[in-house]
Amino acid sequence: MAAETREERIASRTRSPKWQSPPLRIDMGICINCDTCLRHCPPQFGAIFNHGLDVIILAELCSGCGKCLPPVCPVDCIHPDPDWTPSEESWWEHPLGPDDPYR
């Protein structure tokens, strides 16, 4: 059975096979750390986090909905990532942690 809820996707660290759009990624060479994308990511996905000085998107939680794309992102630093790889282990400290902005 596919992981349907955010909590199930976090537990399994898998992306919903129902999502047709690729996950998104942030180009930190362009990003200005304004956090606007984080504030616009729907809580049922809750895929965007501050990770040190970087802003990251956990591909397994990102539906590719585009709610964070321009005009929300003022510098157009978020792009589809059709060749995504699993998120780094250290990134998984954020979902459901004490600083999870989507709780």
HSE-CB of 39 using CA atoms within 13 angstroms: 6
pTM: 0.94
**How do the domains of the chain map onto residue ranges?**
6-93
Class of domain 6-93: alpha beta
- Residues 68, 71, 74, 75, Cα dihedral to 10°: 80
Q: Which residues contact 47 (CB under 8 A, 6 or more apart)?
A: 23, 41, 57, 58, 59, 61, 62, 63
CA dist., res. 62 & res. 47, Å (int): 5
Query: What is the share, in percent, of the chain residues with pLDDT greater than 90?
Result: 92
Neighbouring C-alpha atoms within 13 Å toward the C-beta of 11:
7
pLDDT tens, 31-46?
999 999 999 999 999 9
Q: How big is the chain by its Cα radius of gyration, in Å?
A: 13
pLDDT of the residue at 1: 63
